[in-house]
Structures are given as C-alpha cells and as structure tokens.
Amino acid sequence: MEPDERALVEDLASVRFLSGVAHKYWRVVDRVGSIATFEITAPTGRQVGVRMDFAGYPGAAPTGQLWSIVDRTPLPVDVWPTGGRASQVFNPDWSQQFGGAFYFPFDRRALDGHPAWANDHTGHVWGVDKTVVDVLHLLREVLRTATGPSMKSTEDEAAS
Amino acid sequence: MRLYVHDSEGKRLVEADEDATLIEAIGVHGDSHVWAEDADEPLAADAKVGMLAGSEVAAVHVGKGQITVTVTYNGQTESKSFGPGTKIDKVLDWTLSSQGFNIPVGDRDDLVLRLSGSTEPLEPDAHIGTLVSKADTLVLDLVPGERFAG
C-alpha cells in the first residue's frame, strides 16, 4: 500500500470520520487505492456524491468532482447543486477546465491558481493537520446553502 | 456496543457491554457526570450503557455542569445554557430560531458558528463541553460562511 493510500485508510478509520458516519453526515460508497467516493448529506437533507483523488495525501490536498453514485460517472452539470455558496464551489464555468474540481482551498487544483487563499482564508489552509474529514465537513457546509435543483429532481436522478 | 465518548480532551471510541453502567464503562472519576448527546441534564449515576441502544448515535459527554453559550450576530448577543454534550449543530439551530436571532428562513443556511474572533471551522458534531476546557462559558460568533473568490 502506498503512503497516501495508507494515510487515507487510517483517516477513514479515525473517530472523527466514524462519528460523521454515525451522525449520517456522510458514507463511503467505495474506495480503490487513493480514490474514494462518498455520499454527503447536508442538514437540509440534500444529498450529493463526490469522488476524490487523494494522490499525495496528506501532504497534498485532494482534488474532487461531483459524482453520480448510480451511474458511476461525473454528475451531469444540470443537476449540480446551485444557490448560495454551492454556486461558487460547484462552478461549472471554472471547474470543467480542471476535471470538475471544487473551487475551494481544500482542492489542490483550485489551490494551485490561488496562492492568496492561504492569507485570505486562514481557517481553510491545507496542511498535514487537515484530513478527509475537514474536506467533507466543508463540502457539507457548502451543500447546506444550495437551493437548487429541486430536491425531487435529485432524488429522481438517483432513482433512475 | 460502540460508544462515542467526548470530554474536554476530545472524543474517543469505547467498546462497552450493554449491561455495564456508563460510569464503569467509560471510567468516570471525581465530580464529573455522564450526559447523553444533546441532553440538558446528566444521566443517572447508575445508568446502563444499553439505555443508549435506541439513540440515533450512542454518544455521551463526560463533564461537570451546564455551559452558558453567548452568541454574537450583527452586534447583538443572545445567551442560553446547554448541557456540555450539546452538539454545535444544535446550538446553531437555536441561534437561527425564533428563540435566538430569528433569522429569516432564506438566510439561515448560509450562517455558521465560529469561536469568537476565530475563522477556524467548528465541527457540527463537536460537543460544546469539548470547546471550553475547564470554563463554563462559551463565546461564539454567528457569521456567513466563507466565500472563496479571486
């Protein structure tokens, strides 16, 4: 097992991570090496799949994309969460140039082009003290602000 | 049974027999009590581990007494006392509600809690008793979540 995968496996077994599972904040859908897929549930009940590549973890931040758990493909843009902070973090105009990356400081592809974020967002600076749990909490916080698409349309997408 | 045990040091997992008392299973000493997650009052001294079997999450807090939480939002403050095992998520619900700052529904989901003067995120399942160490007061800010731009 490579060091990044080993570190990820350890963090997926941590009390912080398992507490999030127990509270139904998220669940692991699958993991292959250092690539893991999660389902995240916001306090509003909105759910979304995310697939994250943890190559170089924890020295490097992961990079991720929205993911259809049913189809095992990137989530179609027309059902991406929108509204509030979700429209900024899940920004198709930007992220489609970067493999669907999340526009926030816990995604290494977004971080590459934004060195000022380390000073502007001191509470969200990636370092070896950060783990997959911090990424999932931030994604959940962002997902909570989403107002679209309708919850029914995303449930239909999941059921189709 | 798997128990999440929180205290002023953080949280840990304990495997406990359902027939054991919580105090025995966790190893509580001195004048501390065991509080169920989000409860306003401590559990009885002879409460068994098994009584948590029906809970959504078998999580408890080891702490002494209630904590007074004071939250500032837009220059106004509101205070309320909670058990030390209360999750940050529950405190947030109170601040947004009509008992707190009565935030309009459309504005609620953008607001987050932070330690006063800090930008570090607070985990929603963190118990407030973990955030105060030995004090019995907790001061928080209710602020919009950070927007990443540039």
Digit-coded pLDDT (tens) for A61-105: 999 999 999 999 999 999 999 999 999 999 999 999 999 999 999
Domain extent at residue A104: 3-146
Before A149, cis peptide (omega within 30)? yes
In a domain, A138, yes or no: yes
Asked if residues A17 and A25 have their Cβ atoms less than 8 Å apart, the reply is no
Give the number of domains in chain A: 1
Interface test with A, best of B38, B120, B146 (most A CBs within 10 A): B146
Q: What is the pLDDT of residues B45-57, one digit of tens each?
A: 999 999 998 888 8
- Note the pTM of the prediction, 2 decimals: 0.95
CA of B14 vs chain A CAs: smallest distance (Å):
10
User: Mind giving me the DSSP string for A61-77?
Assistant: --EEEEEETTTTEEPPG
CB-side neighbour CA atoms (13 Å) of A38: 25
Strand partners, B87: B127
For B119, name the nearest residue in chain A, comparing CA atoms only.
A123
Q: Which residues of B touch A145 (CB under 8 A)?
A: 109-110, 145
Strand partners, A41: A47
Before A76, cis peptide (omega within 30)? no
For A137, name the nearest residue in chain B, comparing CA atoms only.
B123
For A84, name the nearest residue in chain B, comparing CA atoms only.
B110
In a domain, A152, yes or no: no
Q: Which residues of B touch A110 (CB under 8 A)?
A: 148
The residue whose two tokens read 């065991």 is B34
Contact B120 A123 (CB under 8 A): yes
Tell me the count of A-B CB pairs closer than 8 A.
76
For B59, name the nearest residue in chain A, comparing CA atoms only.
A19
In a domain, A23, yes or no: yes
Q: Specify the CATH number for the domain of residue A75.
A: 3.10.110
For residue A137, give both structure tokens.
Answer: 């909490």
Nearest to A143 by CA among A73, A84, A93: A84
Nearest neighbour of B148 by CB, restricted to A20, A121, A122: A121
Cβ contacts of residue B119 below 8 Å, gap of 6+?
A121, A122, A123, A124, B146
In a domain, A159, yes or no: no
Model ipTM value: 0.94
Phi and psi (nearest 5°) for A152?
A: -65, -40
Q: What is the pLDDT of residues B101-138, one digit of tens each?
A: 999 999 999 999 999 999 999 999 999 999 997 789 99
Cβ contacts of residue A76 below 8 Å, gap of 6+?
A68, A157
**Could you tell me what percentage of chain A is helix, strand and coil, using 3-state DSSP and rounding each to the nearest 5?**
40, 20, 40
